[in-house]
Amino acid sequence: MKKILLVCAAGMSTSMLVKRMLAHASTINETVDIQALSIAEFDSVVDTADIVMLGPQVRYQKTQVENIVQGRVPVLVIDMKHYGAMDGQAVLATAFEAISKSNQ
């Protein structure tokens, strides 16, 4: 099971995206654990994650997040177009691709 952390300013704007990602995962028979957290909360669970994905509104904190993660998992900023459209399928595909590359 892949664990994906979505990080935004307060952890609330990503909740709809989480629902759409989970819905798509179920249609392709993938089991995933996706959490939406605020930037202040994510470091308490990052050690169990396969990827950290930042909402576009906190992209300026990518370096800070990378420093906390210390290369253990990929850190990506969610494409603004996919985030704005709440395109769970595209965001999930991006996450899977990044996880796969990091495991090579």
Q: Is 72 a catalytic residue?
A: no
Distance between CA 101 and CA 51 in Å, rounded? Answer: 11
Active-site entry in 8, 34, 54, 98: 8
CB proximity list for 65: less than 8 A, separation 6 or greater: 7, 39, 42, 52, 54, 75
Please state the φ and ψ torsions of residue 8, each to the nearest 5 degrees. Answer: -140, -170
Largest CA distance in the chain: 35
Across the chain, how many H-helices and E-strands are there? 4, 4
Q: Provide the annotated active-site residues.
A: 8
